[in-house]
Amino acid sequence: MEHIIKTENLSKVFRAPFTFKKINALTDLRLEITPGEVFGFLGPNGAGKTTTFKLLLGLLKPSRGKIWLWREELKKIELKSKIGFLPENPYFYNYLKAKEYLHFCRHLFALNSQESKKRVDALLDLVGLPEHKNRLIKTFSKGMLQRLGLAQALINDPELLILDEPMSGLDPLGRKEIRDLILDLKNKGKTIIFSTHILSDVETVCDRVGILIKGNLRDCGPLEHLLNPKIKSFELCIKGLSIETVHNLEEQGLNLIKRGNEIFIRVEEKEEKNLLYYLLEKGGELVSFAPRKETLEDLYVNEIKSIDNHHENLGFGN
Binding site for ligand ATP (CB under 6 A): 14, 23, 25, 43, 45-51, 88
Instruction: Outline where 188-242 has alpha helix (H).
Output: 199-205, 223-226
Query: Could you give the residue ranges of the DSSP H alpha helices within the chain?
Result: 49-56, 98-108, 114-126, 142-153, 172-187, 199-205, 223-226, 243-251, 272-281, 296-313
Backbone angles phi, psi at 183, to 5 degrees: -65, -40
51 makes contact, choosing from Mg ion, ligand ATP, none, with CB < 5 to 8 Å by partner type, with ligand ATP
User: Which option in Mg ion, ligand ATP, none does residue 14 bind, with CB closer than 5 to 8 A by kind?
Assistant: ligand ATP
Sequence-separated (6 or more) residues with CB below 8 Å from residue 108: none
Is residue 123 a contact partner of residue 173, using CB atoms and an 8 Å limit? no
Q: Tell whether residue 50 is a contact of Mg ion (CB under 5 A).
A: yes
Q: For residues 223-282, which are near Mg ion according to CB under 5 A?
A: none
| Minimal distance, residue 199 CB to ligand ATP, in Å | 13
46 binds, among Mg ion, ligand ATP, none (CB under 5 to 8 A by kind): ligand ATP
Of 88 and 207, the one with the shorter C-beta distance to Mg ion is 88
Q: Are 211 and 300 in contact (CB under 8 A)?
A: yes
Q: Which does 122 bind (CB under 5 to 8 A by kind): Mg ion, ligand ATP, none?
A: none
Parallel, antiparallel, or unpaired: how do β-strands 160-164 and 191-195 relate? Answer: parallel
Q: What whole-number distance in Å separates Cα of residue 102 and Cα of residue 114? A: 14
* Closer Cβ to ligand ATP, 22 or 117, answer by number: 22
Residue 166 binds which entry of ligand ATP, Mg ion, none, CB below 5-8 Å type-dependent = none
Is 52 one of the binding residues for Mg ion (CB under 5 A)?
Answer: no
Which residues form the interface with Mg ion (CB under 5 A)? 49-50, 88
